[in-house]
Amino acid sequence: MPDTATKSSTAVAEDRSKAPGAGEPAAQPQAETDGFQLVIDALKLNGIDTIFGLPGIPITDLTRRMQKDGLRVISFRHEQNAGYAASIAGFLTQKPGVCLTVSAPGFLNGVTALAHATTNCFPMILISGSSEREIVDLQQGDYEEMDQLAIAKPLAKAAFRVLHAEDIGVGVARAIRAALSGRPGGVYLDLPAKLFPQSMDAEAGRKSLIKVVDPAPKQIPASDAVQRAVDLLKTAKKPLIILGKGAAYAQADADIRTLVERTGIPYLPMSMAKGLLPDTHEQSASAARSYVLPEADVVVLIGARLNWLLSQGKGKTWGGATPKAWGGQKFVQIDISPQEADSNVRIDAPVVGDIGSCVSALLKAIGPNWPKPLAEWIGAITERKTKNVAKMAETLAKTPSPMSFQSALNVVRDIVRGNPDAMLVNEGANALDFTRSIVDMYKPRKRIDVGTWGIMGVGMGYCVAAAVVTGQQVIAVEGDSAFGFSGMETETICRYNLPVCIVIMNNNGVYRGDEKNPTGGPDPSPLVFVKDARYEKLMEAFGGVGVHVATADALRKAMEDAIRSRRPTLINAVIDEGGGTESGRITSLNPAAKKKA
């Protein structure tokens, strides 16, 4: 690929020599390149083919020249959405997703996504143009003045600035390595306006570029750590495996499946690990979650942190006597970060390394004849599962009017079953929690959602990225509030004609739509929106298909049409406005005033 650099750099020099006023070509024209070109060449050299961004000073020409040079430039309506798109592209592809923004406000709009990428361990690079260093540092009031590097540092895994064209190769290489190696994360790359027009000798420029060799090197776990884990597992009477989105990211799908199936250990997938094994797998304990967590004695965490999503590994969820008490479980934790172990409870057997290497080492160590867990453990889980699945089936079979979350999601569940390759984007509160538990996933990395922060606003950025990087049909299940954070990107979805079918679970508000202003005054409650808002017209405004549905049958037909046509579609599904609960499943996190005695 170094050829690309030579060719395009030379092309620039030729363009210049043809420019009006350039006069006769010099006797021996010196081929030159510039900062714009070197940034493009450095990215291309490292296999980066798509940029998510929003143009303006000082990167307008960069976006044009990127497109001219064959990069796919996906232009958004707000940088935050471009940033979320880049972050999830990183998760899906194991290549850093790149987001490109202008300075100060554009940069800040992108920074939320940068922090989100770091928090979720997604590889991403935020590249922002910045103003003149001399003016910024003396705070003399430049156009969009801001010390962006300083602001990005605490929110990114790493942050770099390039001042000279000859350092672009190093800057891009460092950004790629930082994003991908070890625990992946968000990296900021600051490119001042003055860098882009700097010219230098094309050959020297080409030589300054770096094709990063082995950016995410394997990290083989120590054999004694693996043995310790196996020894602990041998003592287990009620073992459990928890798969997290790190396991999904690692793309070690076959080995993970073998480990689960060969040991016979029941497993729980975290939300973005759903589908790593099909949710219908007989060893899935999802439908008995509240039974297996407190009952398990040895838990193997694979790419999942014991953060709030797992109640910090202690308390009532885990059978602890009080909200902070340890439930008595022993943990094996497979993670690339050596600092993750003991973050909340004692980890008896940390296995540090990349998940592919760790799981394959475990497989070797357990050998082909690992005894299956006790029938009592499996039987007890099956019993709970059967009961809960039957209860759920009863709820799903109902067809209330207006639709409930469950009756609408029963349709989505069928559609996803019939289209297992489709990507599922999901955000909201009730719209998220019900979807996670009702809609089964069948293949790895198909479900992408609010992630570690439970963040609203990832929806449309994720839809765009999922469609662009996978080429698959995308189905988005969106709370009406959640959708509002990125709804303008429906224009982007139409502009690029992406096969995205958005289903809005419209209950007229945040959590529910029936709250009243306690004063009886004219302002609505802070939690509700315009009643019966016609979100589907937003899609129609940009040439997509909008459908308003009030019944499960109409929803089914609209989703089938969307998938058949692959046209951008927004289905506004009317849901009972009283059907949700505050904060969905995480009501316990709402601070409540202490009741007076």
Residue among 428 and 499 whose Cβ is closer to ligand TZD: 428
Tokens 């590097």 found at: 149
Count of residues interacting with ligand TZD (CB under 6 A): 18
Three-state DSSP state, 509: strand
Residue among 112 and 119 whose Cβ is closer to ligand ADP: 119
Q: Using alpha carbons, select from 134, 126, 131, 136 the residue that is nearest to residue 159.
A: 126
Give the one entry of ligand ADP, Mg ion, ligand TZD, none that residue 33 binds, where binding means its C-beta sits below a cut-off of 5 to 8 angstroms depending on kind. Answer: none
- Here the tokens at position 309 are 């999503």
What's the one-letter identity of residue 414? D
8-state DSSP, 590: S
Backbone phi, psi, residue 211, to 5°: -90, 115
Minimum distance from CB of 334 to ligand ADP (Å)? 7
Report in angstroms the alpha-carbon separations of 437 from 117, 268, 270, 303, 356: 25, 12, 11, 21, 28
The CA distance from 338 to 183, in Å, is 10
The CA distance from 111 to 114, in Å, is 5
x-marked contacts with Mg ion along 179-208 as a string, rule CB under 5 A? ------------------------------
Residue among 5 and 456 whose Cβ is closer to ligand TZD: 456
Residue 566: how many CA atoms within 13 Å on its side-chain side? 10
Q: Does 293 bind ligand TZD (CB under 6 A)?
A: no
Residue among 150 and 530 whose Cβ is closer to ligand TZD: 530
Residue among 162 and 455 whose Cβ is closer to ligand TZD: 455
Give the one entry of Mg ion, ligand ADP, ligand TZD, none that residue 250 binds, where binding means its C-beta sits below a cut-off of 5 to 8 angstroms depending on kind. Answer: ligand ADP
Across-strand partners of 501? 475, 569
Tokens 């019900």 found at: 434
Residues within window 201-220 making contact with ligand TZD, judged by CB under 6 A: none
User: Can you give the binding site for ligand ADP, defined by CB under 6 A?
Assistant: 120-121, 183-184, 244-246, 249-250, 270, 272-273, 303-305, 307, 309, 335-337, 340, 354-355, 452
Q: CA 407, 570, 425: angle at the middle one, nearest 5?
A: 70
Three-state DSSP state, 53: strand
Q: Using alpha carbons, select from 95, 304, 43, 339 the residue that is nearest to residue 216.
A: 95
Q: Does 457 bind ligand TZD (CB under 6 A)?
A: yes
Q: Does 580 bind ligand TZD (CB under 6 A)?
A: yes
Give the one entry of ligand TZD, Mg ion, ligand ADP, none that residue 307 binds, where binding means its C-beta sits below a cut-off of 5 to 8 angstroms depending on kind. Answer: ligand ADP
Minimum distance from CB of 308 to ligand TZD (Å)? 12
Q: Does 426 bind Mg ion (CB under 5 A)?
A: no
Among 311, 481, 492, 569, binds ligand TZD (CB under 6 A): 481
Give the one entry of ligand TZD, ligand ADP, Mg ion, none that residue 246 binds, where binding means its C-beta sits below a cut-off of 5 to 8 angstroms depending on kind. Answer: ligand ADP
Give the one entry of ligand TZD, ligand ADP, Mg ion, none that residue 456 binds, where binding means its C-beta sits below a cut-off of 5 to 8 angstroms depending on kind. Answer: ligand TZD
Q: Does 83 bind ligand TZD (CB under 6 A)?
A: no
Give the one entry of Mg ion, ligand ADP, ligand TZD, none that residue 333 binds, where binding means its C-beta sits below a cut-off of 5 to 8 angstroms depending on kind. Answer: none
Three-state DSSP state, 101: strand
Three-state DSSP state, 261: helix
Tokens 């024209």 found at: 29
Q: Does 479 bind Mg ion (CB under 5 A)?
A: yes
Q: Using alpha carbons, select from 271, 269, 274 the residue that is nearest to residue 302.
A: 269
Q: Does 426 bind ligand TZD (CB under 6 A)?
A: no
Q: Does 430 bind ligand TZD (CB under 6 A)?
A: yes
Count of residues for the chain?
A: 597
- Exposed e or buried b per residue across 133-152, where buried means at least 16 C-beta atoms within 10 angstroms of its C-beta: beebeeeeebebbbebbebb
Region class of 384: left (phi > 0), else alpha (psi between -120 and 50), else beta: alpha
Binding segment for ligand TZD (CB under 6 A), chosen from 9-17, 51-59, 237-245, 429-437, is 429-437
Minimum distance from CB of 249 to ligand TZD (Å)? 22
Q: Name the residue whose CB lies closest to ligand TZD.
A: 479
Residue among 273 and 528 whose Cβ is closer to ligand ADP: 273
Minimum distance from CB of 506 to ligand TZD (Å)? 8
- Cβ-count burial of 427 within 10 angstroms (0-12 exposed, 13-18 middle, 19+ buried)? buried
The CA distance from 51 to 577, in Å, is 39
Minimum distance from CB of 301 to ligand ADP (Å)? 8
Minimum distance from CB of 397 to Mg ion (Å)? 24
x-marked contacts with ligand TZD along 526-565 as a string, rule CB under 6 A? ----------------------------------------
Tokens 């989505």 found at: 412
What's the one-letter identity of residue 6? T
Report in angstroms the alpha-carbon separations of 494 from 491, 497, 500, 520, 571: 5, 5, 9, 42, 15
Q: Does 431 bind ligand TZD (CB under 6 A)?
A: yes
Give the one entry of ligand TZD, ligand ADP, Mg ion, none that residue 429 binds, where binding means its C-beta sits below a cut-off of 5 to 8 angstroms depending on kind. Answer: ligand TZD
Three-state DSSP state, 4: helix
Residue among 499 and 584 whose Cβ is closer to ligand TZD: 584
Among 301, 511, 547, 559, binds ligand TZD (CB under 6 A): 511
Q: Does 507 bind ligand TZD (CB under 6 A)?
A: yes
For residues 22 and 16, is the Cβ–Cβ distance under 8 A? Answer: yes
Contacts with ligand TZD by CB under 6 A lie at 428-431, 454-457, 479-482, 505, 507, 510-511, 580, 584
Contacts with Mg ion by CB under 5 A lie at 479-481, 507
